[in-house]
Structure 1
Amino acid sequence: MDTAKAWVERWELQQQRYAVDREERFTVITDVVERATAGRTRPLLLDLGCGPGSLSARLADRLPQAEIVAVDMDPLLLELGRTHHSDSARYVDTVIGEEGWTDALGLERPLDAAVSTTALHYLPEPVLLDTYRRLAALLRPGAVLVNGDHFPPDEAPCADLTAYVGRRRAERTGGHAHEDWQSWWTAAARDPELADLFAEREQRLAGLGGGAGDEDLTTGRHAALLRQAGFRHVTPVWQFGDSAVLVAVKDDAGT
């Protein structure tokens, strides 16, 4: 458990390099879920691309009555989450977007919210649309899909500005002082306690063709895909630079 704690803490720091005002983004996502699930005795939440459980842990702290299902395809990060944040969620190993991935979740009732942060940007557009459609089918009427990620604006000059603003913000808050993504993984590969998990991760990524890409879809494109998937109500609720929280609300029954 000490090993998991140390690596999760290092993960939290290195992620600050990539998510502008990461903690505020988490807080906003949790605010939305809190509002959307108000009055429900045991809301069911799905955390997509959960990594080591960062968002699930924050949701569990705010909403201790919630049932959280956290899904990822990375065996090493999942095991860190299961060990360090064991009480926060039920962790599921499956590849988002692959055939049958929603069946692996083992859901027995409709979702009250689905959340994600810095995870869905790697899905190719057709897979993302299918994922949004499947999530719409899993959510109860009035439930929310909340996605915190980097969403560049639709116009290139604006995208340059938002990227610059975010970069300057990270510099002011010290995010770039932490180790980067590659350094974290290089160090994790040298830890003998993680050797088996790391080997399993490498084998799995090789089977997927080398890992995730970065589709870099704009806010407008995500909103269009969400509406195509059946979400009529889509809006950003927070933004700093190109870091934003996008919310889609499933129609109430009869609307």
Structure 2
Amino acid sequence: MGVSMATARRWVERWERQQERYALDREERFTVIADVVEHATAGHSGRPLLLDLGCGPGSLAARLAARFPDAEIVAVDTDPVLLELGRTHHPYAARYVDTEIGAGDWDRALGLDRPLDAAVSTTALHYLSRPALLRTYRRLAALLRPGGVLVNGDHFPPAGPACAALTAHVGRRRAERSRTGGAEDWESWWSAAARDPELTDLFTERARRPPAPAARDTPRTVAHHTELLRAAGFREVTPVWQFGDSHVLAAVA
């Protein structure tokens, strides 16, 4: 089910542009996440071990590999299309693992031989229900070394409807000023990729897999996630960056 480098490059580059439609400050958010990892790993001997949760086609893993060339990065996702694109386009950035975050003993597939220095994620954990997210946070707290960090970049709207509307408006207006509204959207990217003959086998495998159950009671706000992170055993939790409802939230084990 392998794909050529040219095909992988084309679809990953289109993925990058498509994602910018939904996260205008995506590059800055990636940079802030790397800044937190840099701080957490400074002064620690040995090769840093990083886990990328919901890695997609390796966007964040590739940036972390460029910033931390000595790090070992394990990148996790359950989508065979995105994983193969990442393995092909960013083959040296990470060791890619096919496992469903939060499902059963998902972490056994990681093959870790020592505690994590950092776990990172962008726009990948928001689909988990409150119980599943709490289980995932607890497992990550156990996998991280003392002083290690979990860094999550995502959209966290405020609890109040007035403030939620305000932060959404700020983000929307900035996107309009940056003229990103015409970028390819999520649905059109997937529809176009499914028509590529080189990806047919991967889409067949994708169709075989049961869809993720629709999660209810998904934690949305920074306060909700902070509550769950503390309940999971993280010592300290703080936002380190925000624009509109886009945040980077850091938790110290």
List aligned pairs for 1:40-59, cutoff 5 A.
40=44, 41-59=46-64
Partner SS, residue 120 of structure 1: coil
* Match of residue 184 from structure 1: 189
Aligned twin of 1:170: 175
With over 3 angstroms needed to count, the CA separation of the structure-2 counterparts of 1:227 and 1:106, relative to structure 1, is same
Alignment-derived partner of residue 15 in structure 2: 11
Opposite residue 5 of structure 1, the aligned amino acid is R
Q: Deviations over 1:105-148 (max 9, x none)?
A: 00010000000001000111100000000000000000000000
Q: State whether structure 2 residue 29 is matched by structure 1 residue 25.
A: yes
Going from structure 1 to structure 2, the CA distance change for 1:243 and 1:209 (only over 3 Å counts) comes to: closer
Distance 1:211 1:74, change over 3 A: farther
Q: 2:137 aligns with which of 132, 154, 166?
A: 132
Aligned to 1:154: 159
Q: CA offset at residue 48 of structure 1? A: 0.1
Instruction: Report the CA distance between 1:175 and its aligned residue.
Output: 2.3
Alignment check: 8 A CA contact 1:20 1:240 kept: no
1:246 and 2:249 correspond: yes
Amino acid in the other structure paired with 2:23: A
Q: CA deviation at 1:164?
A: 0.8
Is contact 1:47-1:114 (8 Å) kept? yes
Measure the CA separation in 1 of the matches of 2:217 and 2:28.
23
Q: Give distance in 1, aligned partners of 2:191 and 2:123.
A: 21
1:64 aligned counterpart, secondary structure: coil
What SS class does the counterpart of residue 50 from structure 1 fall into? coil
Letter in 2 for 1:7: W
What percentage of aligned pairs have identical amino acids? 73
The structure 1 residue matched to 2:229, chosen from 203, 226, 229, is: 226
Given that residues 56 and 70 in structure 1 are in contact (C-alpha distance below 8 angstroms), is that contact kept between their aligned partners in structure 2?
Answer: yes
- Superposed, which structure 2 residues align to 1:14-163 within 5 Å? 14-40=18-44, 41-163=46-168
Deviation at 1:62, TM superposition (A): 0.5
Q: Which residues of structure 2 form unaligned runs of 5+?
A: none
| Equivalent residue number for residue 211 of structure 2 | 208
Instruction: Provide the secondary structure at the position in 1 that maps to 2:106.
Output: coil
Residue 171 of structure 1 aligns with an amino acid whose one-letter code is E
> What residue in structure 2 maps to residue 253 of structure 1?
none
Q: Is the 8 A contact 1:121 1:214 kept in 2?
A: no
- CA 63–144 in structure 1, closer or farther in 2 if over 3 Å, else same: same
**Inter-partner Cα distance in structure 1 for 2:49 and 2:212:** 33
Taking the aligned partners of 2:167 and 2:221, their CA distance within structure 1 comes to 12
TM-score (norm 2): 0.95
Letter in 1 for 2:188: S
TM-score for both structures, normalised by structure 1: 0.94
Query: SS of the counterpart of 1:113?
Result: strand
Q: Provide the alpha-carbon RMSD of the alignment.
A: 1.4
- Cα 1:199/1:214, change in 2 over 3 Å: farther
Cα–Cα, structure 1 residues 25 and 209, in superposed 2: closer, same or farther, change >3 Å? closer
Instruction: Call closer, same or farther: CA 1:212–1:7 in 2, change over 3 Å.
Output: farther
Unaligned runs of 5+ residues in structure 1 are 251-255
